[in-house]
Structure 1
Amino acid sequence: MLKQKMDLYWDFNACHLVLEFSEDKWALLFCLYMDFSWQVMRGSWIPQINPWALSLPIVVLMSGLVMCVGHAGVMAIYLYQRKISASFFQKFWDWSWQEYALYDLQEMIRYVYTVTNSRVFVIGYSQGTIISLAAFTEPDTVQMVGAAALLCPITYLNHMTARLPLRLVKMHLTQVLLAVGIHELNFKSDWGTRIMEMMCDRHVDCGDLLSSITGKNCCFNSSRIDFYLEYEPHPSSTKNLNHLFQMIRKGTFAKYDYGFWKNLKHYGQLKPPKFDLSQIPSSLPLWMGYGGNDALADVTDLQHTLKELQSKPDLLYLENYGHLDFLLSTRAKEDVYDKMLAFFDSLGTHSSY
């Protein structure tokens, strides 16, 4: 591994500088982070969420890799504070993880690839793995990727057991919100707070809110839960959550379903096209870490994913780990990150498959 200046670059303006002035431009790790529901724990890449020695970005940097953190999400600008038309506001939030995969991630990888003239290492977590695997089915994108490590990998959600998301699916919440014109999904808004209060009073035991969303987690510091919830959940788009709920209902890994007639307009066919995992080259090195207590990235669904891939990824299975443990466990460095970095190290400073 190369030993580089230990700085963390949070956006692509700063990232451009480190890549331009790095002596070894081909040593790069591009980290993508998105989570499953409502952008939950998006801030977890940032060391303020975890002690520095336990934070994945710091662990990666200390390994010697230059790292850029991709901001695939929209900017945190509250448009309702400005004089912006309702039609523009609707268009602003008209996206799901599909757009992240086919546009945002592709362009970020292309940028880093162009500057470094080297394939990019990608790390994805939770929804970040949905985005990454969908993007890797595109030949123009995957040819720029040297290897990928996927934490809590998801493409299918047939067997997910998380109580709160399942209840929201049964309520058809996202469809109702879209029908009444609510396109920004913000559970810290007045209406969002009321919905959560109703859910917790009548349908779901929210005494442990994180467990109701992600399932049981074994190994993070539970005394910090209130601290985590100060930052979460972040606003997202209603369409994005609706896309995820479509995956749960239909059991497919496919593009957004607009309904028969709108699908004809968007895709030229009645049903949304599926993302074909067999299109990911067998030569692309993949590493996956998953847990036995994960209520979102279920083990059975992962087996479905593995059957459709041409390659045989390196697998790390931790029976007692839940969804959040892969980011927040006090033992994550030893249990997960060191093994993930050993995978990258085994490929050399870049992959030339």
Structure 2
Amino acid sequence: MKLPLINLLLFALLLRSTFSYRFQNELQLNTLELVRKNGYPFENISIVTEDGYILDLFRIEHGRNVTTGKRPAVLLVHGLFGSSRDYVSMGPNRGLAYKLADHGYDVWLGNNRGTSREHIRLNSDYNSKFWDFRYLMEIVLSLLRFLYVFSWHEVGVYDLPAMIKGVKSFTKQNRIGYIGMSMGTTASYVLGAEKSEYNGDLSVIISLAPVAFMRHLISPLPLFASPWAWLINVVTKLIKVYEIPPAPLRGFVSYITERICHKDSELLDLCVSFFFFLGGYSPSQLNKNELLTMFGSFPSSSIRQLLHYAQVINSGDFRQYDYGWVTNLNKYQKTYPPLYNLSKITAPVALFYSSGDWLAQPKDVEMLSKRLPNCILKQKVKLETFNHFDFLFAIDVVPLLYEDVIRVLDRFSSFV
């Protein structure tokens, strides 16, 4: 039984390598390569979280034409199935990281756990056994189980503190700005509620497509899947799948994505339909020729991150992860998970949202704003069809959103 599994794994790895190489020469440049290609200064710094994950922090210290003067630091954190690449993939004219750097900011891009597979303990424990095929499958499954058994709660309580401390250490600044998109907003609320001492380190939290409450979402896929979260949890544990897409299939997923979403593909409309099906219908803001650029990087995400969102949908509340009543009793001293105490988030919070966002609906954003003690702005994008992904990739994202984002950031940053 093990031999066919090993053969399948090796074939999948070979397939992934082959198509990753093709992508690399076409559209799948990583964050570092994209920034260098566009002529911006760039640093790559590794940081270690309290629980041992090794994460990447990327720095664009200044813009192409702004090299002097004090530059306030701002940290940008990505969403689910995303990476730091999301903030630079649209180029200098539309990428938020570039716009901030050119405006005079010291820009830091974080990669959450899962985007990186490194861990201080696992890297050493399994090194000597890795190439022994008798242990290969066991090692791979152990690595995946350990590295991907987390939700966005851990991003908030471990990853963000490490990133904030890293940025402050390098820049010697007392406070920094924070911009999160989608899950990057969720994690910031977890941070403020569970690690309230970090509120003083943030000059402002800017939330793009804020996700905390999900009582009114209308995206069909999570609406359909969330009632079956318990079954998904059982099945994925039985078949030992801890991430989506599973590591051996990522090459195949890249191959299918390239075939369907390429600008010359006969199936391009299928790719567009899925894009709208998940985030909202926004044809005026989508350049079909950019779909592969947008999805050139598709990191795996933990199953538990998806399950945690499903629990939020099912309960209607913003709660910690539900492990089941037995584990809950041991972990929380009660049979159900506690609510996040949003009243502890004392840092200024600005919420940017849209009516056309099927994942972060206005009524849920309104509910969030009322729970935040220091919500300094709740602003709806003027275009009614502006969808969830438009916060990163819209054709007119700069005039519709980023100009206002920069104005808010300027208000809480010092250039003196």
Residue 67 of structure 1 aligns to a residue in which SS? strand
**Aligned partner (choices 171, 174, 192) of residue 136 of structure 1:** 192
What corresponds to 1:199 in structure 2? none
What corresponds to 1:247 in structure 2? 312
Does residue 55 of the first structure (1) align with residue 111 of the second (2)?
Answer: no
Structure 2 Cα separation of the partners of residues 61 and 18 of structure 1: 7
Per the alignment, do residues 345 and 93 of structure 1 end up closer, same or farther by CA in structure 2, a change over 3 Å counting? Answer: same
What corresponds to 1:335 in structure 2? 400
What corresponds to 1:7 in structure 2? 41
Shift of residue 133, structure 1, vs aligned partner: 1.3
Shift of residue 269, structure 1, vs aligned partner: 2.0
Structure 1 Cα separation of the partners of residues 91 and 411 of structure 2: 28
What corresponds to 1:68 in structure 2? 108
Per the alignment, do residues 312 and 220 of structure 1 end up closer, same or farther by CA in structure 2, a change over 3 Å counting? Answer: same
Does residue 96 of the first structure (1) align with residue 151 of the second (2)?
Answer: yes
Structure 1 Cα separation of the partners of residues 239 and 388 of structure 2: 32
What corresponds to 1:147 in structure 2? 204
What corresponds to 2:15 in structure 1? none
- Dislocated runs of 4+, deviation >6 Å: 22-26
**Aligned partner (choices 331, 335, 356) of residue 266 of structure 1:** 331
Shift of residue 273, structure 1, vs aligned partner: 1.8
What corresponds to 1:44 in structure 2? 86
What corresponds to 1:120 in structure 2? 176
**Is 288-297 or 213-222 further displaced after alignment?**
213-222
Shift of residue 235, structure 1, vs aligned partner: 1.1
Per the alignment, do residues 189 and 123 of structure 1 end up closer, same or farther by CA in structure 2, a change over 3 Å counting? Answer: same
Structure 2 Cα separation of the partners of residues 207 and 337 of structure 1: 24
The alignment's C-alpha RMSD in Å is 3.3
Deviation string, structure 1 residues 257-281 (Cα, Å, up to 9, x no partner): 1011101222222111211111111
Note the 1:283-302 alignment, pairs <5 A.
Answer: 284-302=347-365
**Is 25-34 or 333-342 further displaced after alignment?**
25-34
The one-letter code of the counterpart of 1:7 is P
Structure 1 Cα separation of the partners of residues 140 and 83 of structure 2: 30
Shift of residue 87, structure 1, vs aligned partner: 3.2
**Is 300-309 or 316-325 further displaced after alignment?**
316-325
Note the 1:169-208 alignment, pairs <5 A.
Answer: 169-172=226-229, 174-175=232-233, 176-186=235-245, 208=273
Structure 1 Cα separation of the partners of residues 145 and 162 of structure 2: 24
Identity of matched residues, %: 21
Structure 2 Cα separation of the partners of residues 110 and 261 of structure 1: 35
Q: If the length of structure 2 is used for normalisation, what is the TM-score?
A: 0.70
Residue 122 of structure 1 aligns to a residue in which SS? strand
Does residue 156 of the first structure (1) align with residue 190 of the second (2)?
Answer: no
What corresponds to 1:315 in structure 2? 378
Structure 2 Cα separation of the partners of residues 288 and 7 of structure 1: 30
Q: Is the 8 A contact 1:42 1:234 kept in 2?
A: no
Structure 2 Cα separation of the partners of residues 85 and 233 of structure 1: 20
Which structure has the higher relative contact order (CA within 8 Å, separation 6+)?
A: 1
What corresponds to 1:200 in structure 2? none
The one-letter code of the counterpart of 2:98 is I
**Aligned partner (choices 210, 224, 244) of residue 289 of structure 2:** 224
Does residue 30 of the first structure (1) align with residue 70 of the second (2)?
Answer: no
What corresponds to 2:265 in structure 1? none
What corresponds to 2:31 in structure 1? none
List gaps (5 residues or longer) in structure 1. Answer: 197-204
The one-letter code of the counterpart of 1:316 is Q
Structure 2 Cα separation of the partners of residues 162 and 62 of structure 1: 35
Q: Is the 8 A contact 2:203 2:412 kept in 1?
A: no
What corresponds to 2:277 in structure 1? 212
Residue 54 of structure 1 aligns to a residue in which SS? coil
Name the larger-Rg structure: 2
Structure 1 Cα separation of the partners of residues 355 and 243 of structure 2: 33
Does residue 105 of the first structure (1) align with residue 160 of the second (2)?
Answer: yes
List gaps (5 residues or longer) in structure 2. Answer: 1-38, 48-56, 123-129, 257-269
What corresponds to 1:201 in structure 2? none
**Is 326-335 or 221-230 further displaced after alignment?**
221-230
Q: If the length of structure 1 is used for normalisation, what is the TM-score?
A: 0.82
